[in-house]
Amino acid sequence: MVKIYNRPLSPHLTIYIPQTVSIFSILHRISALFLILFIIFVVITLKFIIFFVTDYNILLQWTENLDILLLTNIIFLSIFTTFNYHLLNGLRHINWDLGFFLDFSRLKISSILLIFFVFWIYLLSILKIWIY
């Protein structure tokens, strides 16, 4: 008779602790994909508007009837925050390629600074949108 043990197939996955560097690297790739998809969406939307809207007044009436200010602000904030994260993390990777900040303490400091600056820019963006 075969004994069936209740053990996971991959025990190494249950004890794996993700490192901040690997998480930031994955988020960097996801942010690049998000930005590329947004650029493609904007290009297709502009092509659609140019092709189908022959009168500018029709476009103005259409946009005035829609109450999309909140949605536009949310999209702007998400794209702007994603771009800032991608830019700052890219600068961090360039510093690593040049051989700077490679010891563990500086990696941790650069991770904390990256999160701080992205969050700070995000809060400034919210403040700017809220004031105007």
Helix and strand numbers (H, E) in the chain are: 5, 0
pLDDT digits (tens, 9 = 90+) for 89-115: 999 999 999 999 889 889 899 999 999
Asked if 114 and 89 touch (Cβ cutoff 8 Å), the reply is yes
86 assigned binding-site residue? yes
pLDDT digits (tens, 9 = 90+) for 30-57: 999 999 999 999 899 888 877 777 777 7
Tell me which residue of 130, 22, 10, 122 sits closest to 70, measured CA to CA: 130
Tell me which residue of 118, 117, 124, 128 sits closest to 31, measured CA to CA: 118
Q: Please give the model's pTM, rounded to 2 decimal places.
A: 0.76
**8 φ/ψ sector (left φ>0, alpha ψ -120 to 50, else beta):** beta
